[in-house]
Amino acid sequence: MASTWQDVLELAVGIELECAGLYEVFAKRFSSRRELAYFWMNYAEAERYHAASIRIHQSALAGIPEVGEQKFDAESVDARSFLDELRAARQRCERDGVDIGEALRLARWVEESSAEIHGRIQFFKVFPDFGDLLQKMADEDRAHRDLLASAEKRWANVTA
């Protein structure tokens, strides 16, 4: 199924908001530890910022008629699959709970997967005026992943 630019950007926004939702589950889970709750809320806020950035680009692209002619197949399949896995992980963590080690490992997977998907999206290669957005988001996701690896060492033995 071919995806339009609107589909691609809606999917990207959905991923960012689902990431934020997962991190909010973690913040709630560890709410008794202020440092952990704050840590996860900062991550959630970063994901909401990414979603807002995509929305700004969406608005700018809406005024360019030739954009509507492009179709994007490859990126939507992997991105939809990732979104489904992410949603299932959030729902499982909400339902069953999560310990800090699992939360940090899951978040590293999220950030790595998100960075990889952002790096492969062809949409912004077709429209280079908007090309920096997803590259910057991928770079931020990789930095977040690296910070999570450090956090694993710091909070390895913490309980909620």
Per-position DSSP letters for the chain, written without gaps between them: --B-HHHHHHHHHHHHHHHHHHHHHHHHHTTTSHHHHHHHHHHHHHHHHHHHHHHHHHHHHTT-GGGGG--B-HHHHHHHHHHHHHHHHHHHHHHH---HHHHHHHHHHHHHHHHHHHHH--HHHHSGGGTHHHHHHHHHHHHHHHHHHHHHHHTTT---
Asked if pLDDT for residue 140 goes beyond 90, the answer is: no
Greater confidence (8 vs 112) lies with: 112
Greater confidence (135 vs 73) lies with: 135
Q: What residue numbers bound the domain in which 59 lies?
A: 5-154
Asked if pLDDT for residue 113 goes beyond 70, the answer is: yes
The rounded distance, in Å, linking the Cα atoms of 36 and 48 is: 19
Greater confidence (58 vs 126) lies with: 58
Residue 48 placed within a domain: yes
Mark residue 141 as left, alpha or beta (left: phi above 0; alpha: psi -120 to 50; beta: remaining): alpha
Asked if pLDDT for residue 147 goes beyond 70, the answer is: yes
Q: List 72's β-bridge partners, or say none.
A: 3
As a dihedral over the C-alpha atoms of residue 93, residue 98, residue 104, residue 105, rounded to 10 degrees, the angle is -80
CATH of the domain at 136: 1.20.1260
Residue 125 placed within a domain: yes
Residue 59 placed within a domain: yes
Asked if pLDDT for residue 157 goes beyond 60, the answer is: yes
Residue 160 placed within a domain: no
Quickly state the pLDDT bin for 24 (edges 50, 70, 90).
very high
Residue 121 placed within a domain: yes
Asked if pLDDT for residue 68 goes beyond 80, the answer is: no
**Mean of the per-residue pLDDT values of the chain:** 83
Greater confidence (130 vs 34) lies with: 34
- The two tokens of residue 115 are 């960075």
The sign of the CA dihedral 104, 45, 12, 88 is positive
Residue 159 placed within a domain: no
Note the pLDDT of residue 72.
59
Quickly state the pLDDT bin for 116 (edges 50, 70, 90).
confident
Greater confidence (147 vs 45) lies with: 45
Note the pLDDT of residue 86.
96
Residue 51 placed within a domain: yes
Number of domains in the chain: 1
- The two tokens of residue 2 are 């071919």
